[in-house]
C-alpha cells in the first residue's frame, strides 16, 4: 500500500476577476509504510484541499489537481479510490439512520454489496461497533450520542470497508480535551490493529506530536511542504511525554517552521 503525490498543485479561478490563484503548490510526498502522518498547518492554508485531492473527491467544479499526479498503490488516481476513505470533522453521520445503519451504510452501496456477502457484512459491522465501544448503542440515532461517540461512529463507518488509507480532516477538532485524548488512543489502537496508512490533518501541534509517526509541516499561501519531521517514539504517548526534553525540542522546531512560513505571509 502506498500513496504518492508527485509535484501536485491546485489553483482556483479568482472569484471576481481573470486569472487563477494558487492554493497548493508542488507537493511531493510519499507514504509507503502503515503509519500516522500528520499534515500540520495554520487554518485555511489548504490542508483540507490536499486531503480532498488524495481522496479523489472533487466538489469544486474545476480540475483537481491542476498540476501533478497522485498515485495510490503505484497507479495514477483520478477519482475516489476504493482503498481510500475519508473521515470528516463534522462526522457526516446520517441523522435518519440508527448507529448500526450508519456503520453499515457503505456496505449497502452496490459496489460493496457485490463484493461482500450479507453474512460478512453483518459480522463486519458488529466487529467495528465493538472495536469503537458502541455495540450497546447500535439501535440509537446519532442525535442521541455525544460528539466523541459520533466521531467513533464515523471511524467505524470508515474502517468497516477495511481501507488501506484513511484520510482524516481535523476529526477531533470539535471535541473536548478529555474526549479528544480518548479518541487519540482509540485511533492509535485501531491503526496498529488494521495496519493502515492514516493521513491526519490538524492545526494543533500537540496533537501532531502525540499521534504522528511523521509530522509534515505546511507553509501557507500557497501550501507547500515546509519541513518533514520523523518522530520515532513509542505510542501511545502520554501528556507527561509531551513535557519531555525531546518532545519540547520537536515542538520548538515545528513552531519555528510554522512561524517562519506564516510571517512570510505578513510581509
Query: Which of residues 99 and 215 has its CB atom nearest to other proteins in the complex?
Result: 99
Q: What span, in angstroms and rounded, lies between the C-alpha atoms of 93 and 96?
A: 9
Q: How far is the CB of 59 from other proteins (least distance, A)?
A: 6
Q: How far is the CB of 137 from other proteins (least distance, A)?
A: 15
Query: Which of residues 52 and 180 has its CB atom nearest to other proteins in the complex?
Result: 52
Q: What span, in angstroms and rounded, lies between the C-alpha atoms of 220 and 205?
A: 16
Q: How far is the CB of 87 from other proteins (least distance, A)?
A: 9
- From the centroid of its chain, how far is CA 172? 10
In this structure, the chain runs to a length of: 267
Angle of helix 147-159 versus helix 118-131 axis, rounded to 10: 140
Residue 8 Rama label (left phi>0; alpha psi -120 to 50; beta): beta
Residue 68 Rama label (left phi>0; alpha psi -120 to 50; beta): left
Query: Which of residues 84 and 208 has its CB atom nearest to other proteins in the complex?
Result: 84
Query: Which of residues 77 and 208 has its CB atom nearest to other proteins in the complex?
Result: 77
Within 13 A of 225's CA, how many CA atoms are on the CB side? 19
The residue ranges that bind other proteins (CB under 8 A) are: 52, 55-57, 59, 80, 82, 84-86, 88, 90, 92, 94-97, 105-106, 108-112, 141, 143-144, 157, 161
Q: How far is the CB of 240 from other proteins (least distance, A)?
A: 37
Q: How far is the CB of 124 from other proteins (least distance, A)?
A: 14
Query: Which of residues 86 and 215 has its CB atom nearest to other proteins in the complex?
Result: 86
Amino acid at each position: 500500500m502506498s500513496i504518492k503525490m508527485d509535484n501536485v498543485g491546485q489553483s482556483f479561478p479568482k472569484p471576481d476577476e481573470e486569472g487563477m490563484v494558487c492554493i497548493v503548490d508542488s507537493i511531493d510526498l510519499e507514504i509507503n509504510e502503515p503509519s500516522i502522518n500528520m499534515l500540520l498547518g495554520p487554518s485555511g492554508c489548504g490542508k483540507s484541499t490536499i486531503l480532498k485531492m488524495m481522496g479523489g473527491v472533487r466538489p469544486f467544479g474545476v480540475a483537481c489537481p491542476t498540476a501533478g499526479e497522485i498515485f495510490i498503490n503505484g497507479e495514477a488516481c483520478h477519482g475516489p479510490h476504493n482503498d481510500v476513505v475519508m473521515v470528516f470533522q463534522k462526522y457526516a453521520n446520517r441523522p435518519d439512520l440508527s448507529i448500526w445503519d450508519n456503520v453499515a451504510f457503505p456496505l449497502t452501496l452496490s459496489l460493496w454489496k457485490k463484493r461482500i456477502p450479507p453474512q460478512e457484512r453483518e459480522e463486519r459491522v458488529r466487529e467495528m461497533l465493538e472495536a469503537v465501544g458502541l455495540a450497546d448503542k447500535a439501535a440509537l440515532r446519532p442525535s442521541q450520542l455525544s460528539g466523541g461517540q459520533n466521531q467513533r461512529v464515523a471511524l467505524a463507518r470508515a474502517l468497516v470497508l477495511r481501507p488501506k488509507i484513511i484520510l482524516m480532516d481535523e476529526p477531533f477538532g470539535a471535541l473536548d480535551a478529555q474526549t479528544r485524548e480518548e479518541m487519540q488512543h482509540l485511533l492509535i489502537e485501531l491503526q496498529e490493529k488494521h495496519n493502515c496508512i492514516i493521513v491526519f490533518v490538524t492545526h494543533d501541534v500537540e496533537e501532531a506530536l502525540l499521534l504522528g509517526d511523521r509530522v509534515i509541516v505546511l507553509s501557507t499561501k500557497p501550501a507547500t511542504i515546509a519541513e518533514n519531521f520523523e518522530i520515532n517514539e513509542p505510542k501511545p504517548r502520554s501528556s507527561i511525554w509531551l513535557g519531555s526534553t525531546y518532545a519540547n525540542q520537536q515542538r520548538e522546531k515545528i513552531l519555528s517552521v510554522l512561524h517562519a512560513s506564516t510571517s512570510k505571509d505578513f510581509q
